[in-house]
Structures are given as structure tokens and as C-alpha cells.
Amino acid sequence: METVVLTRQHIAKIVKEKGFDHFMDRMISRLGEAFRAGGHGGVTPAREGFLRGPGDTAIIEWMPHHRPGDSVTIKTVGYTPYNPEEHRLPTIIGSMTRYDDVTGRLLAVCDGILPTAIRTGAASAIASRLLARPDSRVLGLVGAGAQAVTQAHALSRVFPLERIVVHDIDPAHARSFAERVEFLGLDVRVAPVTEIEATADIICTVTSVAVGGGPVLLGEHLLPHAHVNAIGADLIGKFEVPLHVLRSAFVTADHRGQALREGECQQLAEGDLGPDLMELCADPALAEAHRDGLTVFDSTGFALEDHVAFDVLLELAAEGGMGDHVQIEHLPEDALNPYAFA
Ligand SMILES: NC(=O)c1ccc[n+]([C@@H]2O[C@H](COP(=O)([O-])OP(=O)(O)OC[C@H]3O[C@@H](n4cnc5c(N)ncnc54)[C@H](O)[C@@H]3O)[C@@H](O)[C@H]2O)c1
């Protein structure tokens, strides 16, 4: 019995053959379906991890999702904010495994870097479609790293965007952003946070700000109808949105428990949160009432999203006849004898 292995080369081929837009559109659609269906009966506990690196600034986490009777998906993901500068590697590095819930067999293994970026963008597109004005034309980005690329891509798929205004604490990252999203064909300008707040209909905060270093938004110039996708908070003490903004906004989280522990919502009490994103997807009228006011999506990222991203990748690979089939596990013919080799 074999395990499907999707390597970087397979994923590159899938993306080249199908196109970035197809991949993102399918991700938005499949994630939306999963959210509307309350995760199809799956269970996603809050992630756990080991803090590491100088001053505990980095973490390796495991993010499990269980579909009883079907499968378990686990993403192992490292957040290493000094990676780009010191090792020329991404801040977020991960891989995913899928197990058969009946037998425990390893069914599939794949990269977790691209699926994470795509599904995080897709989640913001879904939240923004519910909470931002449908005619939103200006996207603001605070943080211009890897995730900012897929935030811009995903939002461009569901809004008539014309302009992106972008800020990063590292001016070189802000400057290179236009080139990285050239494929979107949008007007991209570097701007201070004050200008982003004063002009953007939708803002994504997507930084690697340090614990204790936030917030990255000022919250003094926001348009009354602004919608904020807060992506970066994922550690205790790390946040991007000022408390006074959260207090005056309608706030929804992707995963309530995780958001209260390590997202923007760690600044709030549980009673301050609105319905979560899955509840809003199931009953969009709950969101529509807030569209003309200030809204915040607290995105911490949870393993249901990884599970759906894995499904999408496996589907695309199967459609293109791609993927290696490898016998990783030693499954002896005599189940009672681990020394039995065929
Ligand atoms: N919500 C989710 O599902 C999800 C998924 C993946 C990553 N993330 C989080 O998103 C954040 C960004 O990830 P990435 O892969 O883009 O990292 P990255 O290192 O590629 O980019 C982060 C950018 O933030 C900038 N930055 C740091 N502090 C800043 C500040 N105070 N003001 C403005 N810019 C600042 C950095 O210079 C860098 O360009 C991380 O915190 C990561 O953990 C969240």
C-alpha cells in the first residue's frame, strides 16, 4: 500500500498547468463550502507548539484536524521570523500529512508552505466578502512579506480592486511588493500607515511584529466602513490591531479558542466577540448588518483550512495524473511479524 507524495515539483506543475487564479478560486470556493457546513463534522483543537529560537521568538507547531471515520490531517509548521534575513528562507515553513482514520495508515504527504499561503488568503477573501463593502476598491497592506502576496491575490479575486497601498517596516520589502504582485495588474503604491488607514476599504495586517511590539495599525484614521483582516497575531503577547479599534468594531474569529489565546482576541473577553466565521458563513445575514461599520476578522489560521487545502491539492494532482506513489510504511504481509519482509 502506497502513500501519495506531492513534492514541490508536483505543486509547481499543478500551479503552472491550472494557473494561480484557478487554484485560488477553487480554494475560496471549497473553503467557503466547508465553513458553511460547519467543517463537515470535523474536529479542530487549538494548535500546540514548542517555542524556540533567541528569546523564544520562533515556534514549531502541530495543527491537527480530525474527520471521524475518514481521516486526520496534521500540519507541522515553523514560524521563524528571522529566516528571510538570516537564512534566506521563508518565515513560515511547513509540511502536511494525512492519515486514514480507520486503519491509521499514512495516506498522503505534501508541502505546507504554498497551501498555507493560499488558504490564508482564501479565508480573508471569505471573511471580507461577508463584512466589507462589495464595491471595495482600495486594499491596504501593513506587512509586505509572503502572506501579503496571497492576501492581495485572494482579495483581487472577489473585489473590484483598483489600488493597493502597502507599508512595511523594512522599506525594501515594501518596495519589492509591486513586482511580486505584478500579475494582478493593479496600481501598487508604498504609503505610510496613516495613508493606508485614510484610504483603504479593506486592510490586511500581515506582519511578523514581535511579541510586545504591536500594534501595527494606529486606528486613528480608519474609514468608518473599513474591514480589517488581522493575520499576523499567533503568539501570546503578539498583536497588530489596537484595543480601541477592536472595542469599536464587530469582531469575528476563525477559531474562537485559538483567537482568545493567541490572536487579536487575546485583548478581549469572550463576550466581546461576534459569531465566528463559520457561523457567519452559515447565516450571512448576521454579517450583512455590520458591513457599513468597522469590522475585524481575527485570523489565526486553523487546521480545517489546511485539511481543505490538502483536499484541493490532492484533487488537482489526481486530475493532472501527478504525484509519486511511495511505500513509506513497513506493512508486513504477516501483520503479527514486524520482521517479515516480502
Ligand atoms: N492567520 C493565518 O492563518 C496565518 C498564516 C500564515 C502566517 N501567518 C502570520 O502572518 C505573519 C506574516 O507571515 P509571512 O509569511 O508573510 O512573514 P514574512 O516574514 O514573509 O513577512 C512579514 C513582514 O512583516 C514585516 N514587519 C514586521 N514587523 C512590522 C511592523 N511593525 N510593521 C510593518 N511591517 C512589519 C516584515 O518586515 C516582513 O516584511 C506572521 O506573523 C505569520 O505567523 C498567519
Tens-place pLDDT, residues 103-127:
999 999 999 999 999 999 999 999 9
Interval between CA 121 and ligand 1 midpoint (Å): 13
The beta strands (E) that lie in 232-336 are given as 250-253, 295-298, 324-326
DSSP track, 55-111: GG-EEEEEEEEEETTTEEEEEEEEE-TTHHHHHS--SEEEEEEEEETTT--EEEEEE
CA distance linking residue 156 with residue 145, whole number of Å: 17
The C-alpha cell 474527520 sits at: 67
Cβ-based neighbours of 236, under 8 Å, separated by 6 or more: 211, 261, 262, 266
- pLDDT bracket for residue 65 (50, 70, 90): very high
Nearest-CA neighbor of 41 among 71, 85, 11, 77? Answer: 71
Average pLDDT rounded to a whole number, residues 20-34? 97
Nearest-CA neighbor of 199 among 139, 152, 135, 144? Answer: 139
Residue 234 near residue 210 (C-beta atoms within 8 A): no
Q: Do 3-114+303-326 and 134-298 fold alike per CATH?
A: no
CATH class, 3-114+303-326 region? alpha beta
CB atoms within 10 A of CB 270: 10
Strand duo 3-6 + 324-326: pairing: antiparallel
Q: What is the pLDDT of residues 135-164, one digit of tens each?
A: 999 999 999 999 999 999 999 999 999 999
Residue 150 near residue 118 (C-beta atoms within 8 A): yes
What is residue 1's predicted lDDT score, i.e. its pLDDT? Answer: 85
> How many CA atoms within 13 Å lie on the side-chain side of 217?
35
Which atom of ligand 1 is closest in space to residue 299's alpha carbon? Answer: 1
- pLDDT bracket for residue 341 (50, 70, 90): confident
Q: What is the pLDDT of residues 263-299, one digit of tens each?
A: 999 999 999 999 999 999 999 999 999 999 999 999 9
DSSP run (H or E) holding 23 = helix 20-36
Mutate to test the pocket of ligand 1, among 44, 147, 173, 305 (most ligand atoms within 8 A of CB): 147
Which atom of ligand 1 is closest in space to residue 120's alpha carbon? Answer: 3
Ligand 1, atom 28: closest residue by C-alpha = 209
How much is the CA Rg of the chain, to the nearest whole Å?
20
**What are the CA-CA distances from residue 99 to residues 4, 21, 78, 110, 270 (Å)?**
11, 29, 21, 12, 34
What is residue 319's predicted lDDT score, i.e. its pLDDT? Answer: 94
What is residue 89's predicted lDDT score, i.e. its pLDDT? Answer: 98
CA distance linking residue 202 with residue 155, whole number of Å: 9
The beta strands (E) that lie in 88-162 are given as 92-100, 106-111, 138-142
Give residue limits of the domains in the chain. Answer: 3-114+303-326, 134-298
Residue 121 has phi, psi (to 5 degrees) of: -65, -45
The burial of 224, by beta-carbon neighbours within 10 Å (0-12 exposed, 13-18 middle, 19 or more buried), is given as exposed
- pLDDT bracket for residue 338 (50, 70, 90): very high
Q: Name residues contacting ligand 1 (CB within 6 A).
A: 79, 81, 84, 91-92, 116, 120, 142-148, 168-170, 173, 206-209, 213, 216, 231-232, 234, 299-301
Report the chain's mean pLDDT, rounded to a whole number: 97
DSSP run (H or E) holding 49 = strand 48-52
Average pLDDT rounded to a whole number, residues 88-108? 98
Q: What is the pLDDT of residues 193-229, one digit of tens each?
A: 999 999 999 999 999 999 999 999 999 999 999 999 9
Interval between CA 309 and ligand 1 midpoint (Å): 20
- pLDDT bracket for residue 32 (50, 70, 90): very high
Fill in the DSSP letter of residue 173.
H
Interval between CA 340 and ligand 1 midpoint (Å): 49
**What are the CA-CA distances from residue 205 to residues 152, 256, 274 (Å)?**
12, 19, 20
CA distance linking residue 69 with residue 80, whole number of Å: 35
For domain 134-298, the CATH superfamily is: NAD(P)-binding Rossmann-like Domain (3.40.50.720)
Count of positions (residues) in the chain: 342
Using a pLDDT cut of 70, give the percent of the chain over it.
100
Q: What is the pLDDT of residues 159-199, one digit of tens each?
A: 999 999 999 999 999 999 999 999 999 999 999 999 999 99
Cβ-based neighbours of 172, under 8 Å, separated by 6 or more: none
